[in-house]
Chain A
Amino acid sequence: MLTIKNLTVKFPSRFGDFTAIEDVDMTIKPGEIHGLVGESGAGKSTVGAAAIGLLQSPGYVSNGTLTLGNTDLRTLTLAQAHKVRGDRISMIFQDPQTSLNPLMTIEDQLIETIQAHSDASISTARKRAVYLLEEIGIKNAAQRIKAYPHQFSGGMRQRVVIALAVSTDPELIIADEPTTALDVAVQSQVLDLIQRLAKERQIAFMLITHDIGVIAQVADRVTVMRKGRVIETGNTAQVLGTPKHSYTQALMDAVPPLDRKIDRFRVPDAGDTVSTLGDFAENWLLKGQLHDLTGLSLKNLTVRFAGPRTSFFRKPPPYIALDDVTLNIKPGSIMGLVGESGSGKSTLAKTITGLITPSHGTMTLGDTALPFGKSRSRHHLSRQLVQMVFQDPYSSLNSRHRVGDILTEPLWFYGFIKDAKEREKLAASMLSLVGMQPDAITKYPHQFSGGQRQRIAVARALLARPRFLICDEPTSALDVSIQAEILNLLKELQTKFGLTILFISHNLAVVRQMADETAVLRNGKIEEVGETHAVYTTPKAEYTKSLLALTPVMPTYCKI
């Protein structure tokens, strides 16, 4: 039905044309969910944008054919293309927060779309809108339809976006990372919905995603892309079960399994040249461990934020972000912390580091009590012993500072090394310890990829000679293959230096690979804590069970 042949898309620039995708072939039949998978920069979204005719300016299709049914999409005039868009092809975007107009009710948005593509009267359009919402699984649709987008949860909003896409009875829907911004429970509902629509309405889906688990769960066929080219295409079971191309295999190897723990990920270019450049930094770290392994225990920790004000004269009611959290992290172990967004994971990290002041409870690092928030002096020992690796490597490094300056700052600040040259030398050595070229110290953060930046962030944390490391979603912003490398690195460093780590992630499979013990957090409450293996195989809390059940897993036919 949708047929793409030899599609090449170029972006002109001052330095010649940049080829975003080249020679892409793809066919999608009615009722088929066609997965398009690849790492960032592979050109997945460009294929989708070319199909719907919304290539980001100044990109253009330089070669190839795009046909939908009998219509050649490349020869359409602007007006015709506009009609095809919406009538026959619809799109679902990643972020339901931004794809709905916050100032219009759901009803207005649906009616507007329906009327734009048919000459239905307002009342028939409204009837149809209610019917669509019911079909999409929104209960009480006749009343809920009057609501504004902000009154809906993230998953509900994504359903409304899907309802909008379906409202015109399209033949093809392009879904660009439709579940990436959603929690697992919501993700599985949205995926179910997509599957149902494909089956019942015979809508073809182009499902663009970086998550092979999602593909394995719902896609009939899959196309693997890399650097703008199609690597492999075929039935999902066949491509994932017996991949012909080594890249597909490598991509799957990098996906952390949920059902077992593997010691080290197989990384494609693991031909690490054994270098002795990092020895200097390694010895420095080992020598400097004046403090024993450091555990952390939290008792009855409660964090309250001011909630929305209900009356001008009354104090706003508190919003409880952390509720009576008691957690004991053993010295030298990795504690995994999982939970959905808004469960308080990051609040916990910020409370430990003193950015947020808890209302009561105790925190004990090793055998000293940690003062709360602002009452912790700037020279408190914990400021050195506790370090953090952040989620977003693009904002955790100051883009105006040289990598060398970023790395030597802790050495200077904690007064470890007085001599500036010596500091640079150690920083360079540390870079090679985390698997980077030592000459990176002369460059700026923007000259590195996300994975490399995350390595720099790890190096910065290590240069403070920490005993306790907090990793807040350290791999969530990274591609799976890079994620595998960073996880390998963290494991290695942990065993080498006996760090105690609090590893925070929303990804259960990742935590399973990393943690000795796992705590499950929900709405600020600890639902379950225990040894990781036990939590994953025999979960006690209902919530843990449902989380585990909803996480997409690689089917058994995949050889990993």
Chain B
Amino acid sequence: MIAFVKKNEGFWLFVHSPAAMVAAIFAVIILLGAVFAPWIALVNPYDLASFSLFDGLLPPVWLDGANPKYLLGTDDQGRDMISSILYGARLSLVIGLSALTIAAVLGVGLGLAAGYYGGRFDAIVMRIADVQLALPAILTALLIDGIARGILPAAIQQDLRVAVLTLAIALSLWVNFARTARASTFMHMNKEYVQAAIMMGQHPLRVMFVHILPNILGPLLVIMTVDLASAILLEATLSFLGIGLPADSPSLGTLIRIGMQFLLSGEWWILWIPTMFLVVLVVSINILGDFLRDLFNPRLR
């Protein structure tokens, strides 16, 4: 019944899928908040002069003893929670997106090549991928962190924390891209349009990127959204465990780690609010990913 699927099918399905709509609205709000954080945030959590210890540990406005200036309360340093979260989300998204980009470029490139050439090259790439999968992201991060500490001068180590974290996340995510790209490429290698291109004598890179890549983009886009959520979570996990970013440049994970210390002392909001924010962000991205998957796979509709 593909005969009457019209052009704007994707948009139509989107408008008629409440979950996807709500998820998209949340995702867009968070994204805008993160991008414009310096302009809309009350205080700058990196700038010690913009907040004061006297405002420390204020609860959200609906509780007693709150200061209406800080809608969701403040942490022990007196930083406004909303501002911290916006800046934290900004950092988390930057790390997540750059890690995702690196992982996608590396994974898709290797996957395409493995699917195209097959044989020994394919075997080597896929075994490396298997080894990578066996290593937890935290080990990879520790390894890269250790190497960076060993070979880089101490002065720039602090500045490179973000880069190290990004690289560690990218290295644990590229396998997904490589496997999907390889499997789809294998499928398309037997298609006659690819054979026609090879027969003509086109350069392998052209066959891979001009002919095959546009045809396997669908599943890769889905992985991209799902892996964006994973990247953000990974960053949060690593920061929570203390391998990631230090307390003076807090990402979402760092905020949660700081909040943990106050969980039992009654200041629950310092933990709960960043956590809920992270959950909403990740769930929204995952719902969008599911929607995209259904869109590209009509059999599931």
Instruction: Please report A residues at the B interface, Cβ cutoff 8 Å.
Output: 11, 13-15, 18, 56, 350, 353-355, 377-380, 383-384, 388, 390-392, 395-401, 409-410, 413, 460, 464
Contacts and interface: CB of A to CB of B under 8 A. Distances in A.
A354 B200 contact: no
Interface stretch (B24-32, B190-198, B221-229, B239-247): B190-198
B200 A413 contact: yes
Contacts of A354: 199
Given A355-B195, A390-B196, A396-B192, 14 more contacts: A18-B4, A350-B195, A355-B199, A377-B201, A378-B203, A383-B201, A390-B192, A392-B192, A395-B191, A395-B192, A396-B196, A397-B193, A398-B211, A410-B200
A102 B231 CA distance: 41
Contacts of B193: 395-399
A413 B196 CA distance: 13
Given A398-B215, A400-B215, A388 B196 contact: yes
A460 B197 CA distance: 11
Nearest to B211: A398
Contacts of A18: 1, 3-4
B199 A383 contact: yes
Residue of A11, A398, A401 with highest tally of chain B CB at under 10 A: A398
16 contacts: A13-B1, A14-B12, A15-B4, A354-B199, A377-B201, A379-B201, A383-B201, A388-B199, A390-B195, A390-B196, A395-B191, A395-B193, A397-B193, A398-B211, A398-B214, A401-B211
A383 B191 CA distance: 19
User: Interface on chain B toward A: helix, strand, loop, or mixed SS?
Assistant: helix
B202 interface: yes
B199 A391 contact: no
Residue of B192, B203, B215 with highest tally of chain A CB at under 10 A: B192
B120 interface: no
Given A353-B199, A383-B201, A413-B202, A391 B1 contact: no
B41 to A, nearest CB: 43
Contacts of B192: 390-392, 395-396
Contacts of B191: 395-396
A14 B15 CA distance: 14
Contacts of B299: none
A107 B196 CA distance: 44
B69 interface: no
Contacts of A14: 4, 6, 12
Contact of A355 (B1, B6, B198, B215): B198
Contacts of B4: 13-15, 18
A123 B214 CA distance: 57
B95 to A, nearest CB: 32
Given A395-B191, A395-B193, A15 B6 contact: yes
Contact of B201 (A380, A390, A396): A380
A143 B198 CA distance: 48
B58 to A, nearest CB: 53
Interface string B163-197: 00000000000000000000000000001110111
A464 B1 CA distance: 36
A11 B105 CA distance: 43
A58 B195 CA distance: 38
Interface in B77-114: none
A399 B1 CA distance: 19
The 10 closest A-B pairs by CB, nearest first: A378-B201, A400-B214, A396-B192, A383-B201, A390-B192, A398-B193, A395-B191, A353-B199, A13-B4, A395-B192
Nearest to A390: B192
